[in-house]
């Protein structure tokens, strides 16, 4: 589905645009994935695992734009894509009342209100869809993320012990959060 463009004001006074990804964004989206995965171990991949070609990313964008089950939102500041989020509705009839959310923002743009703005949009879209439960996962130690998720009304409901194994051999748990709408 295609999210309609919206302008927001950041905490530092700059304007940002929330919008749907377009084909021309494919290289920038691949760069965003590599960047954010290099800035924290709270995402599920290492940057070298991001091996998408421009064509792969364009297919992904096209598929999501056409899907009745997905909304993708980019955050653009001064022409640079600095964050993204998505809302994915469950396909199966028994689970259509649920949707998962995912979000990422470049570290240089943390604490500007981008995450909060994107979550507000995803929650509004979910409500308009008739979604009753939003779900997300986070990796142990992501306290900044947890504070945002809790502020947005999510609560932790489960833990997957040793779900993540870092290169140095450290194991981290993964947690599941939900928000009732």
Give the domain CATH number at 80.
3.40.630.30
Beta strands 70-77 and 15-19 are antiparallel
Per-residue tokens: 59: 């297919």
Report the pLDDT value the prediction gives residue 41, as an integer from 0 to 100: 87
Predicted confidence (pLDDT) at residue 121 exceeds the cutoff of 90: yes
Local structure of 76: helix, strand or coil = strand
CA-to-CA distance for 104 and 88, rounded, in angstroms? 15
Taking residues 15-40, report their average pLDDT.
95
Domain assignment of residue 119, yes or no? yes
Domain assignment of residue 148, yes or no? no
123-158 pLDDT, tens per residue?
A: 999 999 999 999 999 999 999 999 999 999 999 999
Our CA dihedral for 130, 74, 20, 101, rounded to 10 degrees, sits at -20
CA-to-CA distance for 90 and 162, rounded, in angstroms? 26
Q: Which residues of 3-31 are buried (b: 16+ CB within 10 A; e: fewer)?
A: beeeebebeeeeebebbbbeeebbebbbe
Can you give the residue range of the structural domain that contains 14?
6-130
Angle in degrees, 0-180, between the axes of helices 54-66 and 26-39, rounded to the nearest 10: 100
CA-to-CA distance for 134 and 75, rounded, in angstroms? 21
Per-residue tokens: 100: 């998962």
CA-to-CA distance for 57 and 92, rounded, in angstroms? 25
Domain assignment of residue 157, yes or no? no
Tally of domains within the chain: 1
Domain assignment of residue 86, yes or no? yes
Domain assignment of residue 143, yes or no? no
Helices and strands (DSSP H and E) totals, the chain: 4, 8
Give kind and range of the element (H or E) at residue 161: strand 155-165
Tell me the pLDDT band of 44, cut-offs 50, 70 and 90.
Answer: confident
Predicted confidence (pLDDT) at residue 36 exceeds the cutoff of 90: yes
Domain assignment of residue 28, yes or no? yes
Domain assignment of residue 39, yes or no? yes
Domain assignment of residue 144, yes or no? no
| Nearest partner of 17 among 76, 86, 83, 78, judged by Cα | 76
Report the pLDDT value the prediction gives residue 8, as an integer from 0 to 100: 97
């Amino acid at each position: 589905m295609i999210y309609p463009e919206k302008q927001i004001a950041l905490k530092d006074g700059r304007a940002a645009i929330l919008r749907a990804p377009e084909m021309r964004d494919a290289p920038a989206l691949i760069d965003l994935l590599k960047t954010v995965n290099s800035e924290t171990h709270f995402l599920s991949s290492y940057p070298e695992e991001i091996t998408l070609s421009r064509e792969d990313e364009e297919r992904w964008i096209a598929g999501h734009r056409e899907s009745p089950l997905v909304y993708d939102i980019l955050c653009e500041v001064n022409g640079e894509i600095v964050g993204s989020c998505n809302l994915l509705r469950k396909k199966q009839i028994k689970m259509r009342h649920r949707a998962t959310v995912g979000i990422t923002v470049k570290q240089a743009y943390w604490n500007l209100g981008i995450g909060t703005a994107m979550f507000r949009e995803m929650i509004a879209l979910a409500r308009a869809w008739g979604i009753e439960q939003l779900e997300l996962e986070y990796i142990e130690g992501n306290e900044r993320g947890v504070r945002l998720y809790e502020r947005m009304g999510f609560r932790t409901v489960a833990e997957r012990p040793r779900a993540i194994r870092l290169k140095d051999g450290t194991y981290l748990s993964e947690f599941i959060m939900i928000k009732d709408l």
